[in-house]
């Protein structure tokens, strides 16, 4: 089994371009399931409260990556102890190239993974008792480099952002959790930004529902624009909403958006200029109106850096954003009345290239995925004034780029 896994992984990692995609598609439909000893990458657990953590990774040589697929962990909440998130490795699904972004369906009984730099998406069933994954099927996203996905509120459709095809795709979701055919595809366009390398055309980077589940917000890194769409639940057809959302600052490269959990505020991170733009969000029209622009970097930093992930604390009092280059996570205080941001400090990511981070289900621990240090670092997020406090040993895993949690 181990030799088969290594052989197939080598095949998939060579299948990034040209005719190799056909080989990839064939192999992708037969992932290898490698079971690991409970002691591998494990830290002892003694608390019964637990959840599952699913970690996506980069795997291909073209990305200089060291990941090996989707890793599954059982994580115990140990509030009051020094280390707040004890993780035990329980499964690896290898034989998958760049399962780089993950998302659950609305029931959290199924997991979906897009394969970055390629053209595919895979569906998995989650065993509710063990948290382990079983592969259902893999289909085309009908585009190049799918980077983000979401499942609509009716649980019937999966929306995918194809970053290098300048398009959104809607795929049918079958009752058994498997993926069906293409329901719709929408090409995006606009005036490209000034960055000579990163902005040659439209590059949608995220598809994120607002709190109401009515609108899909699409930050586009290539044209410095944030688009708004609605999805018809009966047909799976997308409609762009011309709500008059202003164009972002030239060269900002909008990457991700985060919605306030209780107020009508939305925050968009600019990858290329390392900024956060605060917006008021009109829930009746889907319009974003900017009212503040802040840097994600301290004014003492004069090197190169790119912003990456953004998220709010569960109570909406703090906003976090990560910096690749400065290799930090910045914490902002959020004014509950106005939504304005005030920087509270920068926390060393304890590794290189914090591409992603996620708060655990309790909201007390923030896990930072340091892609180029091959580890996930835990920080307590409930310290005085909301600062992040390093809390325990990192979890070692190759090129981590996404973390999602499901209850045990």
Question: Going by DSSP bridges, is the β-strand pair 167-173/157-162 parallel, antiparallel, or unpaired?
Answer: antiparallel
Please provide residue 350's backbone torsions phi and psi, each rounded to the nearest 5 degrees: 60, 30
The DSSP element (H or E) to which 156 belongs, if any, is none
Which residue in the block uniquely carries the two structure tokens 């090129």? 399
Please provide residue 204's backbone torsions phi and psi, each rounded to the nearest 5 degrees: -60, 135
Integer angstrom CA distances of residue 137 from 24, 178, 281, 340, 374: 14, 6, 37, 44, 28
CA 146 remoteness from chain centre:
12
The DSSP element (H or E) to which 43 belongs, if any, is none
d(CA 225, CA 209): 17
Integer angstrom CA distances of residue 148 from 166, 174, 220, 379, 393: 13, 20, 12, 25, 29
3-state secondary structure of 144: coil
Token pair recorded at residue 371: 């892609």
pLDDT band at 49 (very low <50, low <70, confident <90, very high): low
Token pair recorded at residue 44: 């002892």
Give residue-wise pLDDT tens across range 286-328. Answer: 999 999 999 999 999 999 999 999 999 999 999 999 999 999 9
Q: What is the pLDDT of residue 202?
A: 98
Give residue-wise pLDDT tens across range 231-279. Answer: 999 999 999 998 899 999 999 999 999 999 999 999 999 999 999 999 9
**Within a 13 Å sphere around the CA of 378, how many CA atoms are in the beta-carbon half?**
24
Give residue-wise pLDDT tens across range 201-242. Answer: 999 999 999 999 999 999 999 999 999 999 999 999 999 998
Nearest to 347 by CA among 390, 403, 317: 390
d(CA 193, CA 391): 40
What is the reported pTM? 0.89
**Top-confidence residue, 387 or 8:** 387
CB 244 within 8 A of CB 257: no
pLDDT band at 76 (very low <50, low <70, confident <90, very high): confident
Nearest to 318 by CA among 376, 383, 367: 383
């Amino acid at each position: 089994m181990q030799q088969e896994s290594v052989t197939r992984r080598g095949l998939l990692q060579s299948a990034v371009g040209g005719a190799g995609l056909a080989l990839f598609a064939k192999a992708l439909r037969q992932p290898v399931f490698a079971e690991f000893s409970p002691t591998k990458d494990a830290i002892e657990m003694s608390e019964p409260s637990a959840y599952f953590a699913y970690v996506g990774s980069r795997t291909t040589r073209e990305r200089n990556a060291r990941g090996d697929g989707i890793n599954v962990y059982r994580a115990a909440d140990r509030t009051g102890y020094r280390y707040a998130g004890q993780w035990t490795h329980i499964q690896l699904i290898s034989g998958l190239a760049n399962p780089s972004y993950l998302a659950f369906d609305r029931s959290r009984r199924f997991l979906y993974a897009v394969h970055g730099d390629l053209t595919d998406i895979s569906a998995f069933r989650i065993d509710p008792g063990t948290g382990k994954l079983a592969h259902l099927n893999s289909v085309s996203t009908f585009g190049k480099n799918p980077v983000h996905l979401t499942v609509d509120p009716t649980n019937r459709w999966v929306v995918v952002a194809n970053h290098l095809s300048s398009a959104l795709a809607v795929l049918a979701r079958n009752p058994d959790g498997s993926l069906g055919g293409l329901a719709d595809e929408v090409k995006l366009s606009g005036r490209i930004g000034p960055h000579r390398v990163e902005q040659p055309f439209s590059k949608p980077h995220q598809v994120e529902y607002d709190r109401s589940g009515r609108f899909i917000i699409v930050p586009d890194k290539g044209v410095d624009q944030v688009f708004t769409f609605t999805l018809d639940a009966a047909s799976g057809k997308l409609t762009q909403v011309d709500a008059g959302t202003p164009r972002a600052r030239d060269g900002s490269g909008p990457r991700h958006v985060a919605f306030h959990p209780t107020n009508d505020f939305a925050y968009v991170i600019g990858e290329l200029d390392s900024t956060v733009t605060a917006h008021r969000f009109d829930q009746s029209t889907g319009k974003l109106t900017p009212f503040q622009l802040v840097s994600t970097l301290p004014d003492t930093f004069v090197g190169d850096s790119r912003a990456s992930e953004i998220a709010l604390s569960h109570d909406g009092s703090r906003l976090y954003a990560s910096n690749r280059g400065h290799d930090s996570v910045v914490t902002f205080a959020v004014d509950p009345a106005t939504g304005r941001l005030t920087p509270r400090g920068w926390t060393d990511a304890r590794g290189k290239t914090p591409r992603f981070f996620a708060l655990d289900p309790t909201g007390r621990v923030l896990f930072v995925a340091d892609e180029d240090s091959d580890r996930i670092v835990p920080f307590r997020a409930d310290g005085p004034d909301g600062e992040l406090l390093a809390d325990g040993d990192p979890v070692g895993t190759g090129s981590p780029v996404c973390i999602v949690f499901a209850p045990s």
